[in-house]
Structure 1
Amino acid sequence: MKFFPFRSDASHAFCSGVLQKLSDMDEHEWDALVSDDNFYNSYRWLRGLEHSLGATDVLSVHGSAGLVAACTLWEGDQSPGMFFLPDCMAGVPGPWQEGFLWLGGRRNTHNEIPCIQGRRRHQALAELGRCALEYAQQRGYAGFVMPYMPYQAAVEFAYAVGGVVVLHSAQASLEVPDTGLAGMMESWRAHDRNQTKSEIAAFRRMGSRVEWGVPDELDDSVAADLITQNRSRYGGMQDREWVQGILAGQRKSGVSYFGAAAVSKRDEDITALAIFYRFGATLHLRYFGANYSLDLNDYRYFVLCYYEPLNYAAANGLTKLRLSTSALRAKVNRGAKIEPQALVVKCADEQQICHSEAKRHNHRMLREYQDEFPGHLSWDWELVGSHQNPTN
C-alpha cells in the first residue's frame, strides 16, 4: 500500500493523505461511514468502477480510532453532458473551462462524503477539504468540485471547506408505503389512480409479465444491449462494450450481490429490464433498458421502474425508492418528490467565484422548480431560499 501523507490538521487530531487505489482500504471501515442514500459511494460500487475503468486516487482522513472521512477522485468528462463542468455551472461566472478535480464516484448522480457523525464531523470534513485543495494545487487544477450532492449535504460540506454551493439538478424519490403500490395509490387523485390501472392493464394485455431476479442471472451482453438502446435513444454516448464492461466490473467487485433485476418478458423474449440496488433500507434505480425494435405500447418503463418496485420494496422491508435525476415529470406524476441537488466548488483563487451570482442562480433555479413542480418539492427546497452561500 502506498500512502502519501499531507500535513496533519492544526490540532493534530487527524492525519490525511492519498491512496492510489480503493483496494488498499478496508471495506467495512469505509462502509461504516456510508448512509443508506449514499450507495454510489459505497465500497463495492466504487470497486466495481475500479475494475471497469481503472483505479483512481483516494483521499482519506484518519483519527485515533481509524477512518473518519474519505472519497475517491476523478477528472469529470471532457465533452458536454451531465459531468462537464461548463454545463453544470451554466449561468454562474467562473473559470469552468479550466481543469478541476472531481470528488466522488465516477458518473455518480448522488454524492455525499463518507464521514463520521457527531461533534468531530465538521472537523473531519474540513480536513478532507484541505487535503483535496492541496492535492488539486499540487497537480495544477483550478480547484475541486463535488457534484450531485443533496442540498443539505452540500451546504454542510461547503461550510466546512469554505466552498460555494451551486444548485444544478434535482433527483426524485418515493417513500414506500407498507402496502406498496396499493398504499401509494390511496394518496393519489382518481385520475392518477385510473391512469396507473390502465397502464398496468395494457402491459398485461400485450402479453407482458414481470420476473424478478438478480443481475448475476442476466446475460451481460443482453443487458448491455438493452441499456445501450435506451441510453442512445436519449443522447447517451457510451457504447454497448462500455456498458458491458461496467456490468462485468460489478460482478468482480461483488456489488451485484446488492442487485435486483425486474425483467419484462413476452413468452421467453426479454423486452425490457430495470436494475436496482438495495442498500440499507433504500432501493436505488440505476439502469433501464428496452428492445425498441419491438413497437410495444405496453408501458413497460413505468411498470418496471415505478409500479413493480414499490411492491418489491414493501415486500422486502425497504422504505425508500430512489429514482435518480431523469424524467422528473413522469416520476412526479407517479407520486415522487423532487429533491434539490447542488455542486460544491472550491477554487484555488477565491476571487474567481462570484458569490452573489451563485446565490442569484440558486434562487432562479428554486423559482423554476416551484413553477414546474408545485406541490411536489421536498421540504429542503425551503432552505434554498433562506440560505446564503456559506462563504458570504
Structure 2
Amino acid sequence: MRACLLQPRAERTGEADEALKVSLCRGVAAIDEHEWDALVSDQNFYNSHAWLAGLDYALGACEVLAVWSAAGLLAACPLWGGERDDELFELGAFFNDVRGPWTHGFVWGGGRRSTHNQVPCVNGRRRAQALRRLLLAMAGIARERGDAGVVLPYLPLAAACELAEICGASVLLHSAEANIEVPPGGLAGLMAGRNRHDRFEVRAEIAAFARCGNRVEWGAIDPSEQARVAELIACNRARYGSTQGEAWMQRMLEAQRRAGVLPIAVVARRDQRIAALCLLYRFGRALHARYYGCDYRLDDRDFRYFVLTCYEPIDYAARAGLGELRLSTSALHAKARRGARIEPLAAAVLLSDRSLDPIAVRRHNRRFAERHRRELGAHLSPAWQAFL
C-alpha cells in the first residue's frame, strides 16, 4: 500500500462528500480557543490551545493546518520541523532497524517538543473524512517542500492505528509513557493493591524525605521565585543532556503565564529555600506532570523525585476528584514500581514517494514490544498485546 493516495477515500469510492476546506495559518491564535479545545481530550493537554499559544509566544508562531466544514472546525494540527539535535525527536535513533529517509527533512505534526500527541478532531461520522483531509494536506505540503514525508510522533497506539487505517500510514513504536489511574483513596488506595514489599518501600521513601527536613507546599509559582524555579528545572534537564538553560526555561514560563497556562507547583522546602519541585498542569480530569527541578547540591537520599512527582500528586489528584495522573516518558521502571501502567507510543509515518517495508516495520514493532515485556512485564497496558 502506498503511503497515502492523492485523494480522500470518499472521492475514490464515490460516497457522498460534504464540502470541506483546508487552511494553513501562522500561529494557533488564528483559531478560536473554544472551537479548538472542543476537539481536545483530557489526555491531550500538550495540544490544547493555551499550551500551544505558550509555545508560539516562547519559540515563535508555528504553522497550523486546519479542516473546516460549514459548521466550524473539524480537525487541526500544528506543524513543525522537529529537532535533530535532541534524541527525543531523532528519527534515525528511533527506527535504525527500518530502512527509511530518516536523515532528511520531514513535516512533523503535533505540539512542538510534545511527548504525547493526538490530532484534535471531531468525533462521529465526520471524523474519518476530516482526518483524511488533514493528512492528505500534510502530505501535500511535504511534497511541495521536498521533504521526505510526514511524521506524527508520540501518538497513543490507537490513534496511530486510526491514521494507518484512514490513509495507509506506517505505525512504528518508539516510546512509552507512564500513567496512573487515581483511586478515590489517593496514594493509600493505590498502595492497597500493591504487594507488601512495595508498600514498605513507599512508606520508607516518604519517611526518608521527612527525616531530611523537607516540607511540602502546594500552590502557584510566586513571581519572586520564578528565577529559582527556572534554575532548578534547567539544572535537572542539563543532567540528562539538555542544552537549553535557565534563560530558555524562564522564557517558557513567562510565555505560559502570558497564554494563561498556570502550573500547579508542588515544592519541597528546606530552611525557606526550594530544594526540589514539580510543575503539573490540570486539564479536564487529568493531571500532567511536566517539569521537575532539583538542587543537586543537597545529595541526601531523600527520594524527593518520587515524593514530588508521584506520591504527593496522587493524593492531590484524589482530593481534586481527578481520574488520572500522567507521568510522561522518563524513568518508566521506577514509575512502574510505584503503581504506573506503561502504555505504548507510536509514530504515524507517511513517506512522500514510497512506503516503508511492512516486514521491517512488523519486525521493529515486535522487537520493541518484546524488550518492554522483558523489562516491565505485568506493568504493561493491554495495548501491547497487539505485538506480543
Query: Does TM, scored on the shorter chain, surpass 0.5?
Result: yes
Instruction: Specify which of 148, 152, 170 is matched with residue 154 of structure 2.
Output: 148
Structure 1 counterpart of 2:3: none
- Alignment-mate amino acid for residue 221 of structure 2: P
The residue that corresponds to 1:3 in the other structure is none
Cα distance in structure 2, aligned partners of 1:84 and 1:174: 28
- Corresponding residue number in structure 1 for 2:47: 41
Structure 1 counterpart of 2:139: 133
- The question of whether the paired residues in 1 share the 8 Å contact of 2:173 and 2:344 is answered with yes
**Which of the residues 281, 296, 301 maps onto 2:305?**
301
Aligned amino acid, residue 228 of structure 1: A
Q: How does 1:265-284 map to 2 (within 5 A)?
A: 265-284=269-288
* Residue in structure 2 matched with residue 64 of structure 1 by the alignment: 70
Determine if the alignment matches structure 1 residue 195 to structure 2 residue 198.
no
Shift of 1:22: 1.2
1:282-330: CA deviation from partner (whole Å, max 9, x where unpaired):
0000000000112222111010011000100000010100000000011
Report if the CA contact (8 A) 1:275-1:288 is conserved. yes
Q: CA RMSD in A?
A: 1.5
Amino acid across the alignment from 1:313? A
In the alignment, what sits opposite 2:362? Answer: 359
Query: Does the CA-based 8 Å contact 1:220-1:248 persist in structure 2?
Result: no
Distance 1:349 1:219 in 2: 52
Work out the CA distance in 2 between the residues paired with 1:317 and 1:31.
21
| Counterpart position of 1:332 | 336
SS for the counterpart of 2:364 is helix
Match of 1:381 in 2: 384
* Counterpart in the other structure of 2:322: 318
* C-alpha distance in structure 1 between counterparts of 2:258 and 2:305, whole Å: 28
- Aligned partners of 1:217, 1:87: CA distance in 2, in Å? 39
Give the direction of change, closer, same or farther, for the CA distance of 1:70–1:90 in structure 2 (3 Å limit). Answer: same
C-alpha distance in structure 2 between counterparts of 1:90 and 1:216, whole Å = 45
Alignment partner, residue 93 of structure 2: 87
CA distance in 1, matches of 2:33, 2:260: 12
- When normalised by structure 2's length, the TM-score is 0.94
- Which of 26, 29, 32 pairs up with 2:38? 32
Kindly tell me: are residues 124 and 97 of structure 1, through their superposed partners in 2, closer, same or farther at Cα, counting changes over 3 Å? same
**2: CA distance, partners of 1:90 / 1:209:** 46
Name the structure 1 match of 2:81.
75
How many residues align? The count is: 377
What pairs with 1:201-350 in structure 2 (closer than 5 Å)? Answer: 201-215=207-221, 219-256=225-262, 259-350=263-354
**Contact 1:49/1:249 (CA < 8 Å) preserved in 2?**
yes
Alignment partners' CA distance in 2, 1:132 and 1:227: 35
Letter of the 2:347 partner, please give it.
L
Give the conservation status (yes or no) of the 8 Å contact 1:60–1:69: yes
| Residues 211 and 263, structure 1, Cα contact 8 Å, conserved in 2 | yes
Distance in 1, matches of 2:208 and 2:236, equals: 21
1:274 shift after superposition:
0.1
SS of 1:105's partner is coil
Deviation of 1:80 after TM superposition, in Å, equals: 4.5
Out of 167, 175, 186, the position equivalent to 1:161 is 167
Q: Which moved more, 1:282-291 or 1:82-91?
A: 82-91
* Structure 1 residues 126 and 215, CA gap change in structure 2 (3 angstroms): farther
Q: How many Å separate the matches in 1 of 2:163 and 2:261?
A: 27
SS in 1 for 2:333: helix
Inter-partner Cα distance in structure 1 for 2:320 and 2:166: 37
How far apart in 1 are the matches of 2:109 and 2:244? 22
Pick closer, same or farther for the CA change 1:76–1:216 going to 2, 3 Å.
farther
2:174 is paired with a residue whose SS is: strand
Higher mean C-alpha displacement, 263-272 vs 235-244: 235-244
SS of residue matched to 2:382:
coil
**Deviations 1:238-278 (Å, cap 9, x if unpaired)?**
1111111111110110111xx21100001201100000000
Distance, in Å, in 2 between the alignment partners of 1:33 and 1:49 is 19
Matched-pair contact (CA < 8 Å) for 1:41–1:112: yes
Letter in 2 for 1:337: R
Whichever residue aligns with residue 316 of structure 1, its letter is A
Instruction: Output the CA distance in 1 between the equivalents of 2:94 and 2:245.
Output: 23
* TM value normalised by structure 1: 0.93
Please list every run of 5 or more consecutive structure 2 residues that lacks an aligned counterpart in the other structure: 1-6, 12-16
Is the contact between residue 80 and residue 87 of structure 1 (CA under 8 Å) also seen in structure 2?
Answer: no
User: Structure 1 residues 78-87 or 50-59, which shifts more?
Assistant: 78-87
In the alignment, the residues of structure 2 paired with residue 124 and residue 240 of structure 1 have an alpha-carbon distance, to the nearest angstrom, of 41
Distance, in Å, in 2 between the alignment partners of 1:20 and 1:234 is 32
**Correspondence for 1:117 among 120, 123, 136:** 123
Among 28, 31, 53, the alignment partner of 1:22 is 28
Unpaired runs of 5+ in structure 1? 1-6, 386-392
